[in-house]
Amino acid sequence: MRTGDTPRPQPGPGGDPTDEATYERVRTTQAPPAQAPPVQALSRRGMLRLSAGAGLGAALGTAGAVPRPAFADPAPATGIVKPLPPELFVPQGTNAEMRWEAMRGQGHLTPVDRFFVRNHVATPRIDARTWRLKLWGTGLHGAPPETRPIEFSYEDLLGMRAETITSAIECTGNARGFYTSQQGQQVSGTPWGLGGVGVARWRGVPLSAVLERAGLTSRAVDILPRGLDADFVDKGENLGRVRRPLPVAKALDDVLLAYEMNGAPLPPDHGFPVRLVVPSWVGVANIKWLGDVQVADEPLYSPWNTRYYRLFGPGYPPEGSAPLTRMNVKSAFELPWDAPLPARRRLLHGRSWSGTGRVRKVEVSADGGRTWRPARLRDRHAPAHGWVRWEFPWRPNGPGRHELLARATDETGAFQPSTAPYNTLGYLFGAVVRHPVTVS
């Protein structure tokens, strides 16, 4: 799951609570994988529609949004609410991939208008006035399972001490398409290029504060945040609503219940009214349209940490690897795919990022990987969970097709190898991507 052949960073005494080995050890010593326990269906009656682009005022009911039942309107074909202009996005079914040339000239953050969308189903429209976050389960004091959930309203959360973090969200399948196009391997899932990632500034309440208020016990092991979007049906099988267990150690570490993205209320497609932001972890951990959080004194399971988001295939046990946690190292040029470039000297621009540590070095090759030269890093003091912008002067040695390669190394020594280890679901493609351009 990490790229390169450097060893993982060593866990400290007691083990790094957020690495895969510890995640699996702590949880599997307690119970065998089982179906997630049945949970109370939350009423959807209270969820009302808001007009697109509703601001905080409208979210709080001061702008006269017309109450209508959720899911009543025909959604756009994609199920995505925001416009998806072709110069910013590549359609990917229910998802939208960002075009990397759309980051050219941008600051550190990905503007919302071009931030990728990954929806299992479709964006639900939720009324913040009636929305409640419910916490329940055996890991809370005085909250018998499935009774008396502890509730927070949107305004409750707005009234708590806020924190702001800059963090990438990246789909675990980002760059999956290169397993096939570069390595000739068949994998299942959305064939993303490199545009299944974005960096935003998220503001909200630390999940730890909400868990504490809800009465977290020292016996709690896992939490299970669940979205309010419709049930996910995979090839005719209803898997219920999107939900993915998170170890309590990570939940208490740096996870945010975010209600703002880049200084404005979360847009509908990115989880309005509240989503999780789980820095450096696989995208699916960042549950959108959060409705309830089960807190349990035993390990929890859902299809999103058993049948998906593990590595399967040769070299892995039948039940797959441990559930995936951190993302890996990647780099991208801020250029169109097959970009036409004039034959003169120019600066190439790009970004590199990693879920395992800060990016320390980026190298570029314009001769198919024979020789590498360092790129100039522009964000030496970039936020820990964002990306590093870089530039590289290049004079093409002649007209025709060229391949540009970029590879990064992070502070743990994790780097981008020339091939990514195969897994059937095509997760964590971290190899160097060969970006074609045509010089004329």
Ligand X SMILES: Nc1nc2c(c(=O)[nH]1)N[C@H]1C(S)=C(S)[C@@H](COP(=O)(O)O)O[C@H]1N2
Q: How many CB atoms lie within 10 A of CB 194?
A: 24
Nearer to ligand X, 119 or 352 (CB): 119
Q: Are the C-beta atoms of residues 193 and 337 closer than 8 Å to each other? A: yes
Terminal Cα distance for the chain, rounded: 39
Amino acid (one-letter) located at 347: L
Contact flag: residue 385 with ligand X (CB under 6 A): no
Closest distance of CB 9 from ligand X, Å: 24
Indicate the Cα dihedral angle 80, 81, 87, 88, nearest 10°: -80
Q: Segment near ligand X (CB under 6 A), from 84-92, 278-286, 375-383, 395-403?
A: 278-286
- Within residues 243-272, the interface with ligand X by CB under 6 A covers 270
Closest distance of CB 53 from Mo ion, Å: 24
Residues at the interface with Mo ion (CB under 5 A): 118, 171, 283-284
288 binds, among Mo ion, ligand X, none (CB under 5 to 8 A by kind): ligand X
Closest distance of CB 274 from ligand X, Å: 11
Tokens of 295: 């807190």
Partners of 206 in the β-ladder: 256
Closest distance of CB 219 from ligand X, Å: 27
Where do we find the tokens 């990647």? Answer: 330
224 binds, among ligand X, Mo ion, none (CB under 5 to 8 A by kind): none
Residues 392, 388: Cα–Cα separation, whole Å: 13
Q: 364 Cβ partners below 8 Å, 6+ apart? A: 348, 350, 372, 373, 374, 375, 392, 394, 404, 405, 406
Q: Segment near ligand X (CB under 6 A), from 3-11, 279-287, 352-360, 387-395?
A: 279-287
Nearer to ligand X, 227 or 245 (CB): 227
49 binds, among ligand X, Mo ion, none (CB under 5 to 8 A by kind): none
Residues 49, 128: Cα–Cα separation, whole Å: 9
Question: Which one of 171, 214, 256, 425 is in contact with ligand X (CB under 6 A)?
Answer: 171
Residues 105, 101: Cα–Cα separation, whole Å: 9
Q: Segment near ligand X (CB under 6 A), from 43-51, 112-120, 159-167, 206-214?
A: 112-120
Q: Which residues bind ligand X (CB under 6 A)?
A: 115-120, 169, 171, 227, 229, 242, 270, 283-284, 286-289
